[in-house]
Amino acid sequence: MIRVILPPHLRTLAHVGGEVMLEVDGPITQRSVLDVLEASYPMLRGTIRDHVTQQRRAFLRFFACEEDLSHQPPDAPLPDAVASGKEPFIVIGAIAGG
Amino acid sequence: MSKVRVLVGTRKGAFILTSDGKREQWDVSGPHFAGWEIYHVKGSPADPKRIYASQTSGWFGQIIQRSDDGGKTWHQPGTPPGEPPAPGPPKAASNKFVYDASAETGKPLTTHQFYDGTQHPWEFKRVWHLEPSLTDPNMVYAGVEDAAIFLSTDGGENWKELPGLRGHGTGPKWQPGAGGMCLHTIILDPSNPRRIWIAISAAGAFRTDDGGKTWKPINRGLRSQYIPDPNAEVGHCVHHIAMNPKRPGVLFMQKHWDVMRSDDAGDNWKEVSGNLPTDFGFVIDVHAHEPETIYVVPIKSDGEHYVMDGKLRVYRSRTGGNEWEALTKGLPQKDCYVNVLRDAMAVDSLDKCGIYFGTTGGQVYASADAGDSWNPIVRDLPAVLSVEVQTLV
């Protein structure tokens, strides 16, 4: 299972409390995780990535394993610790956004 | 008879509120510089008639204003007396804040993190904070956005960057907070003129021990979830730092989340949020005579910049943190959703100590009894950006 932590406003939108657990098939990448996240929680479409370009919204960042992965290619593999569920994939509001 | 002068910066001008030592009846003057954002107004401890103001505008840029008569009249330093005031650029260099990238004295201009995490060049935007010298009325520091510290030694007429801070080497890891990448806090050490503390949102706290030539980050003990490594050396969104001048080196910090204290001049910090209902907030200040009595205004969260439960409550700790009591007498306890910004609280040095703060709803509240009870001096100003107090004897 892939663990995803969302910022509070998106948790409210998605009606989830703590972490989101996702079953993701195939390679574990930003794109595959966010695809499953948006499929599971359609109300999050457009809130993390642009609907059309699929670009990360400027005020959001992607962290994992104490690294900023925001500028990694969307199809690059996420760290093994994320793929194994040991560490969460964190979607976080940039400090400028809050 | 003692007198108090409260200097208020708002989104649409500056206001000066004066009272005698009883602090019951107030005269209100203003708006000065009507229509302009006044980020900060502060008087010189060495000459209370000397007051500096930072006047900014998205259209016209930065203006520095100075009064030599306690706020009755103002001029742009260097502009001949009688010259019409702003709008429009001043005749002198008082609005010229140029980063020092020269080979001789400066540091190369680097980049910093932008809102979206990409790198972005340093660009001057405005002066957030003016800190007059404790001893020389003509000497004043300016904390600016994008973050850097400048110094004027001629009463605000000319400004020179102290480039060792911006050039510290961690600049590419600094990033803007919601208000911009601002240097918002400058604290001068009355016991050591070569020691200065500053804070930047979002880089953290820094200290110089050589008069501003070199700086070191002092963020050990801060923990911030919004940076990849929560314990990183820089990147922390420090909102404000306060110090009682009678006890230099004991610092209190309101971080984005967490209230912190340091007993060793910032080398190490520990959390003292204790029983606060939320430890997000902007302001923090220290009682003038009781160095373990501190004040904060808890704000609901970083996503909801207003007080909790519709109640405006100042929290006071008499134990230097951890144990907090809500102060509510005279403050709205229903349907109140204002914020209190980082430079919008100040204390006077009368006995009993007066506490003052301004809100984004335009109220300026005063307590003449160290926070036990509050009264609004004014209720309907533009959103308050900063509050400073001069105690005049």
pLDDT tens column, B153-169: 999 999 999 999 999 99
Phi/psi of residue B246, nearest 5 degrees:
-80, -10
Indicate yes or no: CB of B115 within 8 angstroms of CB of A94.
yes
- Report the gap between the CA of A10 and the closest CA in chain B (Å): 11
* B344 has pLDDT over 80: yes
Residue A95 has what pLDDT? 84
Spatial distance between the Cα atoms of B165 and B215, rounded to a whole number of angstroms:
6
B230 touches chain A (CB under 8 A): yes
* B88 has pLDDT over 80: no
* A87 has pLDDT over 60: yes
- Report the gap between the CA of A38 and the closest CA in chain B (Å): 21
Structural domains in chain A, CATH included, are 2-97 (3.10.20.30)
Q: What is the mean pLDDT of residues A45-49?
A: 90
Residue B96 has what pLDDT? 86
Spatial distance between the Cα atoms of B270 and B273, rounded to a whole number of angstroms:
9
In sequence order, what are the residues at sequence separation of 6 or more whose Cβ sits closer than 8 angstroms to the Cβ of residue B159? B93, B94, B96, B97, B142, B150, B151, B152
Encode pLDDT of B28-86 as tens digits: 999 999 999 999 999 999 999 999 999 998 877 888 999 999 999 998 888 665 665 55
Q: Cβ of A27: how many Cβ atoms within 10 Å?
A: 12
Nearest CA among B70, B147, B162, B54 for reference residue B107: B162
Q: What is the 3-state secondary structure (H, E, C) of B119-181?
A: EEECCCCEEEEEEECCCCCCCEEEEEECCEEEEECCCCCCCEECCCCHHHCCHHHCCCECCEC
- Count the alpha carbons within 13 Å of B19 in the hemisphere toward its beta carbon: 19
Residue B246 has what pLDDT? 95
B203 touches chain A (CB under 8 A): no
- Report the gap between the CA of B180 and the closest CA in chain A (Å): 7
Residue B16 has what pLDDT? 98
Tell me, what amino acid is at A72? Q
pLDDT, averaged across chain A: 93
In sequence order, what are the residues at sequence separation of 6 or more whose Cβ sits closer than 8 angstroms to the Cβ of residue B328? B311, B312, B313
When scoring A63, A72, A95 by the number of chain B Cβ atoms within 10 A, the one with the most, hence best to mutate, is A95
Residue B225 has what pLDDT? 87
b/e string for A10-23 if b means 16 or more Cβ within 10 A? bbeebebeebbebe
Element spanning B51, H or E: strand B51-57
Whole-prediction pTM? 0.92
Nearest CA among B342, B316, B345 for reference residue B328: B316
Element spanning A82, H or E: helix A80-83
Spatial distance between the Cα atoms of B97 and B125, rounded to a whole number of angstroms:
9
Residue B276 has what pLDDT? 98
